Amino acid sequence: MKYFIYTIIFLALVFIGISAGELNFDNLTEGESAKALIVMLASLCVIVLMVILLVSRTISKKHE
Protein backbone atom coordinates (compact mmCIF):
# COMPACT_ATOMS: atom_id res chain seq x y z
CA MET A 1 0.00 0.00 0.00
CA LYS A 2 2.89 2.34 0.77
CA TYR A 3 4.28 2.06 -2.77
CA PHE A 4 0.83 2.73 -4.22
CA ILE A 5 0.58 5.95 -2.19
CA TYR A 6 4.05 7.02 -3.32
CA THR A 7 3.06 6.30 -6.93
CA ILE A 8 -0.02 8.49 -6.61
CA ILE A 9 2.09 11.30 -5.12
CA PHE A 10 4.59 10.96 -7.99
CA LEU A 11 1.80 11.09 -10.59
CA ALA A 12 0.36 14.19 -8.94
CA LEU A 13 3.78 15.84 -9.17
CA VAL A 14 3.98 14.89 -12.85
CA PHE A 15 0.56 16.48 -13.44
CA ILE A 16 1.74 19.64 -11.71
CA GLY A 17 4.80 19.76 -13.95
CA ILE A 18 2.80 19.24 -17.12
CA SER A 19 0.25 21.85 -16.10
CA ALA A 20 2.95 24.36 -15.28
CA GLY A 21 4.01 24.20 -18.92
CA GLU A 22 0.50 25.14 -20.03
CA LEU A 23 0.31 28.34 -17.97
CA ASN A 24 0.05 31.67 -19.74
CA PHE A 25 1.12 34.29 -17.22
CA ASP A 26 -0.57 37.09 -19.17
CA ASN A 27 -4.04 35.59 -18.64
CA LEU A 28 -3.99 33.05 -15.83
CA THR A 29 -7.76 32.76 -15.52
CA GLU A 30 -8.64 32.27 -19.20
CA GLY A 31 -8.61 29.25 -21.48
CA GLU A 32 -6.00 26.56 -20.98
CA SER A 33 -4.36 28.45 -18.12
CA ALA A 34 -7.50 28.19 -16.03
CA LYS A 35 -7.67 24.43 -16.64
CA ALA A 36 -4.00 24.09 -15.76
CA LEU A 37 -4.53 25.98 -12.50
CA ILE A 38 -7.44 23.70 -11.60
CA VAL A 39 -5.34 20.60 -12.32
CA MET A 40 -2.49 21.98 -10.24
CA LEU A 41 -4.81 22.74 -7.32
CA ALA A 42 -6.40 19.27 -7.51
CA SER A 43 -2.96 17.65 -7.63
CA LEU A 44 -1.87 19.59 -4.55
CA CYS A 45 -4.99 18.38 -2.75
CA VAL A 46 -4.18 14.79 -3.70
CA ILE A 47 -0.64 15.18 -2.36
CA VAL A 48 -1.91 16.59 0.94
CA LEU A 49 -4.45 13.78 1.31
CA MET A 50 -1.86 11.09 0.58
CA VAL A 51 0.56 12.57 3.12
CA ILE A 52 -2.23 12.61 5.70
CA LEU A 53 -2.95 8.95 4.88
CA LEU A 54 0.73 8.03 5.30
CA VAL A 55 0.94 9.81 8.65
CA SER A 56 -2.28 8.24 9.92
CA ARG A 57 -1.09 4.76 8.91
CA THR A 58 2.19 5.37 10.75
CA ILE A 59 0.35 6.49 13.88
CA SER A 60 -2.00 3.50 13.78
CA LYS A 61 0.94 1.09 13.50
CA LYS A 62 2.56 2.65 16.58
CA HIS A 63 -0.62 2.15 18.65
CA GLU A 64 -0.93 -1.55 17.82
Provide the domain limits for residue 7.
2-59
32 part of a folded domain: yes
Q: Is 12 domain-assigned? A: yes
- Residue 36 in any domain: the answer is yes
Distance between CA atoms of residues 31 and 51, nearest Å: 31
In a domain, 64, yes or no: no
Phi/psi region, residue 40 (left: phi>0; alpha: psi -120 to 50; beta: rest), is alpha
Q: Is residue 22 part of a domain?
A: yes
pLDDT tens-digit series, residues 34-48 = 999 999 999 999 999
Q: How confident is the model at residue 28 (pLDDT cuts 50, 70, 90)?
A: confident
Burial 20-58 (b: 16+ CB within 10 A, else e): eeeeeeeeeeeeebeebbebbeebeebbeebeeeeeeee
What is the pTM assigned to this prediction?
0.87
In a domain, 43, yes or no: yes
Give the total number of structural domains in the chain: 1
